[in-house]
Amino acid sequence: MNNPDISVIIPLLNEAESLKELFGWIKKAMEENNFSYEVIFVDDGSKDGSWKVIEELSVSSQSVKGIKFRRNYGKSAALNVGFESATGDVIITMDADLQDSPEEIPELYRMIKNEDYDLVSGWKKKRYDPITKTVPTKLFNYATQVMSGIKLHDFNCGLKAYKKDVVKSIEVYGEMHRYIPVIAKWAGFNKIGERVVQHQKRKYGITKFGMERFINGFLDLVSIMFISKFGKRPMHLFGLLGTLMFAIGFLVSAWLGGDKLYHVFYLKTPARLITEQPLFYIALAAMILGTQLFLAGFIAELISRNSSERNSYLVEKRCNT
């Protein structure tokens, strides 16, 4: 059986009201453009009957696949297992709340296939969100641009398109779904673009994300930048810092000792005890911290070479997979 043109991955949590309408919308967009497709719903531990709706859709259409987590693991885990299951030539991700329009899919597909982009991210230029959400989002996106060097306006837009090679080459875990473009770039996929997409008003339910996501987002950005640069070689950071600090402390201590010997044996004058000088304790602290940083890098190097898979979640049920 040939692989479909497009795999649509939809992570969801308690979105039972919107699923049938969303699938009908996707189906219409695919059929109008003669795409072969599969839709993979990943139920992230819903409690509202979302899985029952997915099962009904999978019975009515062979294009629908479903994966259900036993409990809520988060959007990153849902996307990661969706990436593993996808078989399409182009992978589309979108949210289940009807705020992403499936009518954007044909143009995203064209940019991947015809313009050879590795990843295309949606940009919700006009948003139907309160100012308490839009202003922090702009600050967050600006900080991510500066730190990553990727010129995107909306890193966290759920509507994205990928080459198949991209999603099969990266791992998304924790809360790193916000930084998939950054992860893709550090995996060697450098042609990353964006397209302005339409943002719909939420029709059902409430948002699943609170203000804490912006604090977590900044911490995750620091983490992903560190992991991207030093995840496979932590000794390059900790070892370098440790060696520099130890060397500075050692040189200062040696200078203090040499200065005392110079006064005692050459000038024949009394000199202060080394232990009475504050600079000695600063140098001693630098040597101790330098040793600890070096050992931290060494231990991190051992751990990174023997770490198990970060994604550990239980799939309770599957249908049509």
What are the residue ranges spanned by the domains of the chain? Answer: 6-230, 235-305
The reported pLDDT for the residue numbered 272 is 80
The reported pLDDT for the residue numbered 191 is 95
- Verdict on whether the full-model pTM lies above 0.85: no
Nearest to 214 by CA among 155, 265, 267: 155
Residue 199: phi and psi, rounded to 5, are -105, 125
Residue 206: phi and psi, rounded to 5, are -130, 160
Q: How far apart are CA 253 and CA 233, in angstroms?
A: 31
Nearest to 157 by CA among 138, 143, 131: 138
Per-10-residue mean pLDDT, the chain, length 321: 90 93 96 96 94 95 95 93 96 93 96 96 80 71 82 90 95 83 89 90 62 63 68 80 95 92 83 86 95 90 65 65 66
DSSP class of residue 266?
I
The reported pLDDT for the residue numbered 216 is 64
Q: How far apart are CA 214 and CA 224, in angstroms?
A: 15
| Pairing of β 64-69 and β 90-93 | unpaired
Q: How far apart are CA 310 and CA 172, in angstroms?
A: 9
For residue 6, what is the enclosing H or E element?
Answer: strand 6-12
The reported pLDDT for the residue numbered 146 is 82
The reported pLDDT for the residue numbered 255 is 92
The reported pLDDT for the residue numbered 105 is 96
Question: How many residues appear in the chain?
Answer: 321
How far lies 192's CA from each of 78, 116, 155, 158, 159, in Å?
Answer: 23, 10, 11, 15, 14
Pick the CATH number of 6-230 from 3.20.20.70, 3.40.50.1980, 3.90.550.10, 3.40.470.10: 3.90.550.10
* 102 and 25 Cβ atoms separated by less than 8 Å: yes
